[in-house]
A = this chain, B = another copy of it.
Amino acid sequence: MDLEGILSDVGKNLRSSLIRELLKYASVPGSISFGGGVPDPNTFPRHELGEIAKEVIENEYPYTLQYNTTEGDDQLAIQMIKLLERVYGITGLGRDNLLFTTGSQQALDLIARVLLDKDSICFVEFPVYLGAASAFRMTFTNFETVPLQDDGMDVDYLEKKLDELDRQGKIKKVKFIYTVPNFHNPAGVTMSLEKRKRLIEVANKYDILIVEDDPYGLLRFEGEHLPSLYKLSGHDRVVLLNTFSKILTPGLRLGVIIGRADFVRKTTMAKQAADLCSPSLNQRMAARFLERYDLLEYLRPGVELYKKKKDVMIKSLEENFSDIKGTKWVNPQGGLFVWLTLPDGYDTMEMFEIAKEKKIYYIPGEAFTIDDGKSRSMRLSFCLPPEEKIIEGVKRLKEVVVEYGKKKGLM
C-alpha cells in the first residue's frame, strides 16, 4: 500500500532535523566536532547514580518499576521546589505548579499542542532554538521572529510587531513569546535585567504569555545570576521550562514545566494522551540525588571545565579570526555555545562541504532559521572536545573559512 497517500498534513510536513543529518559526519576518524550540544559524560555522577539506581529498584520497586502518575514523582517535586527556591529565589510553588516531562522537548511539544492552532501566531527569537521550532512547527503555526542583540531579544522590535498585529485585529492570534534568556542556544547571548523587565511590561501590555526556556541557567561561568522572567513577573504571566539534561544527565530525560496550576493541568492532560507518564525510576533517581548531594557543589567542577574550554575557544578565535574583517563572535557568560558570524557573502551551509574535507564540524546557522534561510553564522560547541582539539579545530576552521572565502572571491 502507498504510505504517502494516507499521511496526515502533519505526517507529510515532517522532516528530519538538519543537525541530526550533519552529526553523522562527526564520527569520522580524525574529525573534530563543534557540532553536538551534548554535555561531557565525564561530568556525570555515574557512581552516585549507579548506587541510587540499584537502591531505588531493590527497595522501592512497587513504585520505581510501576506506572507513575502523569504529573510525575511527588518526591522529585519536593526537591525541585526546594531547588527553585534556593537557586532562583522562586517561592510559593505547590505540587500543582509542576509537571515532569521527557526532557524540555516534550514540554515544548505539549505547550504547542494545548495553545497553538493552525492560524495561531507565536514569537520566537532569531536565531531560534531548533528543538522549539520543530515542536511548534508540527501545528503549522505562523512564526514571528524577533532579532537577538548582545543583551538579548530586541524588545522594541517585539513591541512594534505586537502593536502592528493589534492594529490589524490579530492580537488574539498571538499565543506566546518564546525565549531562552540565559546563554542562548545557539546565539550564546544573555538577556539583560533591563530587557527582562521591559519584556514583561510589553507582554503585560498586550496580555501575552511568555514561555521561558532555561536549560543552561546554572551553567554560569562569570557575571551575576539574573532573576528569571518567571520570578520577575510574579508567576502568572510566564511558563518556565527547566531540565536536568544539562545539570545532571541528559540520559534520564527529565524536564519540568513550572507554571500556573490551570496551565499545568492542561499540559498534564495532553501528556496523559501523549505517553501516559514518564518512567518512575528516572524521576526517583533524580529525587534521591537532589536529596543526598548538593547540586551546586556537584556542578562546580563541570562548570569550571566548560569555562576553561570556552576560554580556550575564545582565545583561539581571537588568534585566528581577528584578521578577518567583519567576523564577530559572542563570548558567552555560560552555557555550551559560541555563535560565530562571518563577513557578508559567507554561506556556512555551503561552506560545510569544505569543512567535511578538513574534518571539522559545526552547525550552520541555517539550522536555526525558521525557513531554512541562508546564514553566515554558525554554532560552535566547546563542551565535548578536549582543549588541544579545540585549538586544532579552530585552526582547521580558519583554513575552511579562508579556502571558501578565496573560492568565492570574498577575500
What residues of chain A have their CB less than 8 Å away from a CB belonging to chain B? 1, 3, 5-11, 14-17, 20, 38-39, 41, 44, 46-47, 49-51, 53-55, 57-58, 61-62, 64-68, 70, 101-103, 105-106, 109, 113-117, 120, 131, 134-135, 137-139, 172, 175-176, 207, 209, 236-237, 245, 249-253, 260, 262-263, 266, 269-270, 272-282
- With A115-B8, A251-B281, A273-B14 as known contacts, state yes or no: A53 contacts B57, CB within 8 Å: yes
Q: Which residue of B lies closest to A5 (CB)?
A: B172
**A106 and B274: CB pair below 8 A?**
yes
20 pairs of residues in contact across A and B, judged by CB atoms under 8 Å:
A1-B236, A6-B176, A6-B209, A7-B266, A8-B114, A14-B266, A14-B273, A16-B269, A16-B272, A46-B65, A65-B249, A67-B251, A101-B275, A105-B273, A106-B275, A131-B276, A134-B272, A135-B273, A137-B273, A138-B273
| Those 7 A-B pairs whose CB atoms lie nearest each other, nearest first | A11-B114, A65-B251, A53-B53, A50-B57, A65-B249, A102-B275, A54-B54
For A3, give its contact among B5, B253, B262 (CB under 8 Å): B262
Q: Among the interface residues A5, A39, A117, A245, which one has the most CB atoms of the partner chain B within 10 A?
A: A117
Q: Which chain B residue shows the least CB distance to A237?
A: B1
* Residues of chain B lying within 8 A (CB to CB) of residue A17: 272
Chain B residues within an 8 Å CB radius of A262? 3
- Known contacts: A58-B50, A279-B253. The answer to whether A15 contacts B65 by CB under 8 A is no
Give bound CA distance, A106 to B110, whole Å.
Answer: 13
Known contacts A6-B115, A7-B266, A253-B279; can you find 5 more A-B pairs with CB under 8 A?
A3-B262, A10-B270, A66-B249, A67-B251, A109-B275
Residue among B65, B70, B209 making CB contact with A1, cutoff 8 Å: B209
Query: Complex: how many Å from CA A249 to CA B102?
Result: 19
A302 shortest CB reach to chain B, Å: 13
Copy number in the complex reads: 2
Chain B hits for A103, CB < 8 A:
275-277
CB distance from A11 to the nearest CB of B (A): 4
* Neighbouring B residues of A3 by C-beta, 8 Å: 260, 262-263, 266
Question: Smallest distance from the beta carbon of A10 to chain B beta carbons, Å?
Answer: 5
Residues of B near A49 (CB, < 8 A) are: 57, 65
The residue from B57, B109, B237, B266 contacting A11, defined by CB atoms under 8 A apart: B266
Q: How far is the CB of A170 from chain B (nearest CB, A)?
A: 14
Residues of B within 8 A of A252 (CB): 65, 279, 281
With A3-B266, A49-B65, A138-B113 known to touch, is A277 a contact of B249 (CB < 8 Å)? no
List B contacts of A131 (CB < 8 A): 276
Q: Which partner residue on chain B sits nearest A49 by CB separation?
A: B57
A251 x B280 contact (CB < 8 A): yes
Q: Cβ of A275 and Cβ of B115 under 8 Å apart?
A: no
Within the complex, the shortest CB–CB distance from A77 to chain B, in Å, comes to 18
Please report the C-alpha to C-alpha distance between residue A262 and residue B7 in the assembled complex, in whole angstroms.
11
CA distance A109 to B209 in the complex (A): 27
**A112, closest chain B residue (CB):** B8
Q: Are A109 and B273 in touch, CB under 8 angstroms? A: yes
Contact A113 B275 (CB under 8 A): no
A62 to B41, CA, bound (A): 5
Tell me the bound Cα distance from A269 to B134 in angstroms: 10
Check if A114 sits within 8 Å of B14, measured CB to CB. Answer: yes
Docked Cα-Cα span, A106 to B106, in Å, equals 11
Cα of A5 to Cα of B114 in the assembled complex, Å: 12
The CA of A11 and the CA of B124, in the complex, are separated in Å by 21
